Amino acid sequence: MMKYPFTLTEANLKNAMADPRYTNSRHPNSQSWRGMVSQGFATLYPDQTPAR
């Protein structure tokens, strides 16, 4: 199970999307931060995750 630096809620994930680690693709942690946000939404809404 993934560890999040905040309580996993939709509001906190939306706040995480405003973070420079998400918005700035050149940030050194951008890829992992974006992955964490994506995984968070998939965890909160498993039935809405597109099939791969």
Supply the pLDDT for residue 1: 72
Judged against a pLDDT cut of 90, whether residue 52 lies above it is answered with no
Supply the pLDDT for residue 48: 86
Task: Report the distance separating Cα 8 and Cα 39, nearest Å.
Answer: 10
User: Above pLDDT 90, what percent of the chain?
Assistant: 83
Q: How far is CA 11 from CA 15, 26, 27, 29, 37, in A?
A: 6, 24, 22, 21, 11
Q: Are 43 and 37 in contact (CB under 8 A)?
A: no
Supply the pLDDT for residue 2: 79
Supply the pLDDT for residue 49: 63
**Region 10-23 average pLDDT:** 98
Which of 33, 30, 23 lies closest to 2, judged by CA? Answer: 33
